[in-house]
Amino acid sequence: MSTPESRGTPVHVESQEHLEELVAGADVVLVDFYADWCGPCKMLEPTVEEIAAETDALVLKVDIDELQELAREEGIRSVPTLQFYVDGEQAKRVIGVQDKSDLLDIVDELSN
């Protein structure tokens, strides 16, 4: 379960430990690796916010410029990269701008 203050809005990840704690504490997690200078990331941002508001998935945002070491450890080579976790384990990764319906399908699939 996600914490009440995180439900409905994306949570900004502050460190590797913070990411691990959040991923371990929720059933389904969507992590958006992004950069402020990235045009496609800006295009995807409203979709990510809608998924946070409309689903039970915990949505996290990782600024790859702010957390370069974390991005390197996660093998992020391009942004946006979306990683999905179920019960603390990575279940899926998609790269690039995605349709909201496709992302919702992934969340639904992983929630069952």
> How far apart are the C-alpha atoms of 95 and 112, rounded to whole Å?
23
What is the dihedral sign for C-alpha 70, 22, 79, 112? Answer: positive
> How far apart are the C-alpha atoms of 16 and 23, rounded to whole Å?
11
Catalytic, out of 7, 38, 40, 100: 38
Cβ–Cβ under 8 Å, residues 30 and 108: no
Locus of tokens 């994306």: 10
51 is catalytic: no
Catalytic, out of 23, 41, 44, 58: 41
- The residues with which 43 forms a beta bridge, in sequence order, are none
41 is catalytic: yes
Q: Which residues are catalytic?
A: 38, 41
